[in-house]
């Protein structure tokens, strides 16, 4: 079914506080050279003690409204993707509805971890294309610093906080969405998790501290194997070649991982946009942060063809090919 949905606005926000590699040197056995060599990360933004996923989301939405002069009164659905909501319930989406006093809208949170933003866009596109909705606010917001174990030198160097928001609106003449590809490898869930109630997974004992736990080597192997195949499926669906993609925007997990994916997929790293250097791994917020940086730097322009690919815990992944036509 041909898409009838267009992305019409984007906004982002990151907290003011920075956590530099030099700061981490005082906390665990690590150093700037080691971190940069293995991850490409120089610094991350950290939410304050009373700053939560909802607060970051509000700022990102306010940024969107200010830049694109958008009105939220006719938003008829709010989809928030997060793994670090303020509460188990109410959802961050419900908090957004209340904060902006949006009069008549559905609201729910979605958890697809680092693939959350592309999952939410995919869902918004289908809801609008089916004409069930006309204007959907999609928000990715994460405060990973609150669930990071700062005694674990292998994970604490990675994660930061941030948020991004986009509006997806009905427009059958100038749709953004060209193709999608999704998949799941649930047996790999043990390789990156954060516990709540259960203390085992498939009979295997878990680290039940409530902090993130990751087997980076296994996640790296899975992503480096899975994404090139997914990208190939997206290109087949659209009939496009790698050369016709203006920008590849993957989840900013780790620069070495992105380089491996690019090498196997045929994308030059020069045509790849990331946000990990100064924001770290912000899970579902990393793609909108990367996209917005590309816009602000004058790289992403109207008419560009973009390939967005989210991947992470689950293990799950979803890629999208879009036409970037914000101002039509």
Return the active site residues: 114, 251, 281
221-241 per-residue burial string, b: 16 or more CB within 10 A, e: under 16: ebbbebbbebbebbbeeeebe
Query: 70 by DSSP, 3-state: which?
Result: coil
By the 8 A CB rule, do 266 and 242 touch?
yes
Q: Please give the Cα distance from 271 to 156 (Å, whole number).
A: 28
Query: Phi/psi zone of residue 176: left (φ > 0), alpha (ψ -120 to 50 degrees), beta?
Result: alpha
By the 8 A CB rule, do 308 and 121 touch?
yes
By the 8 A CB rule, do 134 and 158 touch?
no
By DSSP bridging, strand 305-312 and strand 247-250 are parallel
Question: What tokens were used for 268?
Answer: 């030059």
- Strand partners of residue 310: 318
By the 8 A CB rule, do 137 and 79 touch?
yes
By the 8 A CB rule, do 275 and 293 touch?
yes
Chain centroid to CA 279: 12
Question: What tokens were used for 96?
Answer: 């957004």
Residues 6+ apart with CB under 8 A from 99: 54, 58
Q: Which run of H or of E encompasses 205?
A: strand 204-205
């Amino acid at each position: 079914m041909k898409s009838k949905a267009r992305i019409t606005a984007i906004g982002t926000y990151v907290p003011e506080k920075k956590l530099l590699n030099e700061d981490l040197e005082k906390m665990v056995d690590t150093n700037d050279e080691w971190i940069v060599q293995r991850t490409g990360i120089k610094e991350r933004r950290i939410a304050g003690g009373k700053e939560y996923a909802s607060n970051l989301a509000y700022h990102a939405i306010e940024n969107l409204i200010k830049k694109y002069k958008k009105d939220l009164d006719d938003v008829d659905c709010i989809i928030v993707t997060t793994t670090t909501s303020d509460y188990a319930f109410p959802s961050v989406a419900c908090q957004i509805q209340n904060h902006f006093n949006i009069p008549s809208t559905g609201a729910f949170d979605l958890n697809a971890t680092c693939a959350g933003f592309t999952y939410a866009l995919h869902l918004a596109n289908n809801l609008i294309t089916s004409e069930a909705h006309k204007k959907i606010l999609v928000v990715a917001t994460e405060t990973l610093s609150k669930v990071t174990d700062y005694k674990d030198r292998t994970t604490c160097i990675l994660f930061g906080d941030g948020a991004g928001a986009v509006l997806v609106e009905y427009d059958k003449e100038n749709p953004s969405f060209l193709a999608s590809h999704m998949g799941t490898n649930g047996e790999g869930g043990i390789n990156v998790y954060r516990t709540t109630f259960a203390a085992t997974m498939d009979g295997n004992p878990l680290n039940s501290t409530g902090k993130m736990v990751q087997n980076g080597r296994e996640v790296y192997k899975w992503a480096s194997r899975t994404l090139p195949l997914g990208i190939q499926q997206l290109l087949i669906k659209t009939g496009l070649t790698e050369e016709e993609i203006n920008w590849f925007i993957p989840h900013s997990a780790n620069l070495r991982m992105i380089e491996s994916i690019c090498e196997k997929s045929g994308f030059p790293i020069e045509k790849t946009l990331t946000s990990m250097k100064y924001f770290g791994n912000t899970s579902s917020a990393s793609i909108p942060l990367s996209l917005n940086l590309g816009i602000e730097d004058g790289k992403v322009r109207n008419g560009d063809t973009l390939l967005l690919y989210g991947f992470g815990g689950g293990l799950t992944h979803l890629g999208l090919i879009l036409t970037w036509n914000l101002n039509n």
